[in-house]
Chains A and B, each alone.
Chain A
Amino acid sequence: MQAENVNGDDLRNLDQFMNAHLAGFRPIAYYDKHLDCVRVQILDCSVTEHRLSTMFTILEANHSDMPDAIVGFTIKGVRHLCEEVGIDTKGVVRLVEIIDKIVRSYPHEAMLAVEEFVVSSVDKEMTIDFSEASKAA
């Protein structure tokens, strides 16, 4: 349903909004056009962002029974970064391709922490659709 086709009361009532629009959560990688970053998250929960470097942020679950439960990460400044490592950001790109090229160009400690999370917890076929950003309002 497009926002233009609903009325204001539907949007004000959270239960109605969730009923109509909330999809089942699945681990996801996507491009955030507002902050020019790739976000990868494997659990829908409240998170704390831990800044590893100007390029990487790790997401830690706030209310997990497990201490330091990492549930995702962010690659920041992605358009600059992808230009530098030769990745076309106009279509669909596999997450592991981005990680692989960044590891080769920036083999520092923060990148290795992200790579470790990808290897242990992320679907290797996960993709990022950069064109989706231009379709979103």
Chain B
Amino acid sequence: MLVDNGSFFLGKSYQIYTKYMDVEKINGQWVYLVAAKWFNEGAGQVDDVQFGLLASDLQLIASRGFGTSIAQFERMVAPGLILSRHIFKGLNRGLYCDDDPSGDKLKLIYTRTPSADYEWSGGAQGRSVKRNAPRGKVFSVIVSPNNKHGGDFPKIAGWVDRWSWILEDSALAEAPTNWVDRYDKRLWTRK
């Protein structure tokens, strides 16, 4: 399953990823900024926006030892969110978020089938390992619209919450299985 090895974010490869991601200090907090598409439901059009992930949240992930999640963020979420095939809305389950007991209704789900997967190997001094993308699965990123913190972070349209693989739907390519039951609605599909 191993495709190749190699560290990244060094030398020339670093330049590739800065096209899709930047790190900026906003109101005293370091934030990873990621390019993405936004479906404007009112206007029925798609806009280019930036989503954020607090550096402190990525540090929390690191403190729990989840090197693979961080490698996937750097190699798949940051450069790949803009390439999403579908955007869905609403998780269809009870979810408290920012003290809103109906937080599930607002969540956005971005999905696509990347050409590769990444894991982290070797601890703090380790490296990312490129692997074949798992067959019959889609990569999903869950995003919270930046409704509550827009004043502090005006350039951020949404916050990246979570990313993982899900089984692919048998009828709709690059969509999660049973997406009709999982989500409230499909907002947008890339032509």
Contacts and interface: CB of A to CB of B under 8 A. Distances in A.
Interface of A: 1-4, 6, 8, 11-15, 17-26, 28, 30, 32-36, 41, 44-51, 54-55, 62-63, 76-77, 79-81, 136-137
Q: Which of B64, B97, B142 has the most CB of A within 10 A?
A: B64
26 contacts: A2-B56, A2-B59, A3-B30, A4-B28, A4-B56, A11-B23, A11-B58, A14-B9, A14-B70, A19-B124, A19-B125, A22-B124, A23-B65, A34-B144, A34-B162, A44-B65, A44-B67, A45-B68, A46-B134, A46-B165, A47-B164, A49-B165, A51-B182, A77-B95, A80-B96, A137-B54
A32 B10 contact: no
Nearest to B103: A36
B65 to A, nearest CB: 3
Given A17-B70, A18-B124, A136-B57, A23 B64 contact: yes
Contacts of A47: 164-165
Interface string B33-74: 000000000000000000000111111101111111011101
Contacts of B126: 18, 22
B164 A35 contact: no
Interface residues of B, number: 66
Given A18-B62, A26-B65, A45-B119, A36 B97 contact: yes
Contacts of A55: 93
- Most B CB contacts (10 A, CB to CB) among A2, A17, A41, A80 go to A17
Contacts of A62: 117, 131, 134, 137, 165
Contacts of A80: 94, 96, 101
Contact of A24 (B65, B68, B74, B182): B65
B18 A12 contact: yes
A44 B94 CA distance: 27
B164 A49 contact: yes
Contacts of B170: none
Nearest to A59: B164
Majority DSSP secondary structure for residues of B touching A: mixed
A1 B59 contact: yes
B162 A35 contact: yes
B25 interface: yes
Nearest to A50: B167
B96 A76 contact: no
A106 to B, nearest CB: 13
A25 B32 contact: no
Contact of A54 (B18, B64, B68, B92): B92
A35 B65 contact: no
Given A3-B29, A21-B59, A35-B142, A63 B117 contact: yes
Given A4-B28, A41-B66, 7 more contacts: A3-B55, A8-B23, A14-B71, A36-B97, A63-B119, A76-B93, A80-B94
Contacts of A17: 58, 62, 70
Considering the complex of A and B, which 8 residue pairs feature the smallest CB-CB distances, nearest first? Answer: A25-B65, A77-B94, A3-B55, A137-B56, A21-B62, A80-B94, A34-B161, A3-B56
